[in-house]
Structures are given as structure tokens and as C-alpha cells.
Amino acid sequence: MPTDLGGIVLYAVLFSLPVVVLGAVILRGTRHLSLITSMAVLVLIPTLSTLAGVIGVSGLMFTDELERTAVVLVVVAAVTVPAALVLGRYQARRTVWEKQIRDQERAAEQSRRELVAWVSHDLRTPLAGIRAMAEALKDGVVTDHADVARYSDQIVRDAERLNSMVDDLFEMSKINAGALRLTMEPVDLHEIIDEVLAANRLAAERASVRLHAEPPLARVVVSGSDRALGRVLTNLVSNAIAHTPPGGAVEVSAGTDGTHAWTRVDDTGPGIAEHDLPRIFEVAYRGTAARSPVASDGLPSGSGLGLAIAAGLVEAHHGGIVALNKEQGCRFEVRLPLAVDA
């Protein structure tokens, strides 16, 4: 057993260093395991290396003093290892949360960039048309009464398209900012379906699409905002009409399933590409050409926010919305909790 300071240091290093090296090897071998395991190994390395150093300095003589030291180290390990496991679990969860937050922020930033790109293009196109036609009318280039009326109608249509885009942007900004305030009350889905179908009947006739509803057998009452739910169903129905070829059909149905109500909008269009399904409710995502309709003048039919707004409003009602392909066409299904007193 060494008695001088140099010998004590030498023996302590000789006996503790192998434990440290072994711990490093174990850490390297378990680097693919959980953070909790790494934390436990990191706590045990200094404790065991200290015990090995003390044993080495004592000359492998298990005296009462060495026994007391060993007991202290065991107690320390018994306290610190569980604490390390708890801290490791917390750190692991925090790491996952931080990664999820970073991923969400990157996705949100990418979504904002896509939105700016889409909206910039979509707003610029009808604005350019309005400006050109207005200048033609102002400068007297168009004098024929029929042409003047046609130009005026087109200006009105483009202005309505711009107004719809601005409304969509305003709604989407409230949803993203968490500033959406809904007045919840008992709402009968059958009444909303009737109102939405009446409002979209003319658009369906112009598109030569048959629009009809399959009424539920009984009242389907949910707790929600009739305006917001009407907006959801309007977006889904107009989307279905736009994607259904002439001669096709759009059907709206509703019912209950346990504690939830469901509303389905089925169309006979080309369906949704499988790689588009996971992103169909993202902001400004229009997908492939088959699901990216254009108006009669060749311009995009909307802002690209309709489905994203519908998804946001459904989420605000603590519900869910899904899209899936059928044998012919696709189906959008909205599920909402039934009203408690329904």
C-alpha cells in the first residue's frame, strides 16, 4: 500500500483508468441505445472508478475504512443512478419535443413560402386582367356594347375571385394564429347540408354535375358554429364539384356512429394520387393536375386554401377530417362529437 503522495496518485490512476476505459467502450457500444442508458453509464463510471482507485490505494486490503468508503459509494450510486434515469428520460423527451418543434417550424416556414408563391401568382393574374380590361374600357378601345358588357362581366368575376382569395387568407391567418373564436351551440347537420346544397346547386348545374343529398334517418346534432360548419361543407362540396367531370355526381350524406357524427362528400372525379393524400389538407397544396381544376378562363379556380381552412375549422370543433379514394372518385369525411344533450 503506497504511503507517499506520488504512489497514491499512481495507484489511483492505475486502478481507476481501466474502469474509465471500460466505461467509454460500453458507452460507444450502447450509443445507439436510449439516452437513459447513456446517462446511467455516465453516472456509474465515476462512482466505480473512484471505488477502484480507493481499493488500489489500499493495497487490496479491505479494512474498515475501505468498507466505509465502499458503503458511501454504493449509497451514492443508489441515489444518483435513479436520478440519472429520471433526468435521462426527461432529457430524452425534451430532445424529442425540441426536434418536433423544429420540424414543425420548418414545415410552417415552408408552408408560408409556398403560400406566398401561390397567392402572389393567383392574385397577380386576375389583377392584371382587371387592369387590362379597365384600361381598354377607359381608353375607348372597346366600344361595341356586347364587348363592353363582356368586359364588365369578366371584371366582376375577377373581382369576386380576388375577394374570395382575400377572405380565405383572412380565415387562414386566424386559424394559424389561434385567433379563431367560435360560438358553440347545438347545430343540426341536416339543416346545414340543405343550405349548402341550395347555395351550390347553380354551380353544379353549370358544371353539368348532379348534386344530391342522402338525408339521415334522424336528427344529427353536434355542438358547433353553424357558420363555420357551413364553411367546411361548402368548401368540400365546391371542391367536389370542381373535380367532377360533366355527367358525374356529388353526394352529401350524414349519420352517427357511437358518440360521433359523420358527414361525407363523395364525388365521381378522378380521385387523388396516393402521394398527394398525406398533403391534401396543407396550405396552398393543389396536388397533381387531375386534382387542380381551373375555371373556364384557364385560371386557377381558387386560392388553394379551401381544404386547409376546412381542416382548421374541423380541428377547432375537436373533430377530424380525412380524404380517401373510392373505386370511382374520392370521399371526404368529417367526424364531429355529438352534442351532449342531443
Task: For the chain, give every domain's residue range.
Answer: 5-100, 182-342
Q: Alpha-carbon distance 118 to 103, whole Å? A: 22
Burial class (CB in 10 A: 0-12, 13-18, 19+), 124: exposed
Q: Alpha-carbon distance 244 to 275, whole Å? A: 20
The CA distances from residue 89 to 34, 41, 76, 128, in Å, are: 9, 14, 20, 58
pLDDT of residue 73: 75
Among residues 44, 52, 42, the alpha carbon closest in space to that of 17 is found at: 52
Q: How confident is the model at residue 229 (pLDDT cuts 50, 70, 90)?
A: very high
Q: How confident is the model at residue 330 (pLDDT cuts 50, 70, 90)?
A: very high
The overall pTM is greater than 0.85: no
pLDDT of residue 288: 57
Give the angle 266-271-275 at the CA atoms, nearest 5°: 130
Residue 6 has pLDDT above 70, yes or no: yes
Residue 224 has pLDDT above 60, yes or no: yes
Identify the weakest region by mean pLDDT among 32-36, 211-215, 267-271, 306-310. Answer: 32-36
Which residue would you say has higher pLDDT here, 261 or 21? 261
Average pLDDT over residues 243-269: 93
Residue 289 has pLDDT above 60, yes or no: no
Q: Calculate the average pLDDT of the chain.
A: 80
Give the angle 75-11-80 at the CA atoms, nearest 5°: 20
Q: Which of 34-38, 130-134, 266-270 is modeled with the greatest confidence? A: 266-270
Residue 191 has pLDDT above 70, yes or no: yes
pLDDT of residue 60: 65
Residue 20 has pLDDT above 60, yes or no: yes
Count of Cβ atoms closer than 10 Å to residue 29 Cβ: 10
What does the block give as the cell for 182? 367560435
Residue 300 has pLDDT above 60, yes or no: no
Q: How confident is the model at residue 1 (pLDDT cuts 50, 70, 90)?
A: low
Residue 277 has pLDDT above 80, yes or no: yes
> Is 175 within 8 Å of 200 (Cβ atoms)?
no
pLDDT, one tens digit per residue, over 99-130 is: 888 887 787 677 667 666 666 766 777 788 88
What does the block give as the cell for 251? 353526394
Which residue would you say has higher pLDDT here, 82 or 317? 317
Residue 291 has pLDDT above 70, yes or no: no
CATH number for 182-342 (one of 3.30.565.10, 3.20.20.300, 3.30.70.20, 1.10.530.10): it is 3.30.565.10
> In degrees rounded to 5, what are phi and psi of residue 252?
-115, 130
Average pLDDT over residues 302-314: 80
pLDDT of residue 31: 66
Residue 4 has pLDDT above 70, yes or no: no
Of how many residues is the chain composed?
342
pLDDT of residue 186: 92
pLDDT of residue 32: 65
Among residues 317, 320, 162, the alpha carbon closest in space to that of 227 is found at: 317
Q: How confident is the model at residue 297 (pLDDT cuts 50, 70, 90)?
A: very low
pLDDT, one tens digit per residue, over 132-179 is: 888 888 888 888 888 888 888 888 888 887 887 777 777 777 776 666
Average pLDDT over residues 207-222: 88
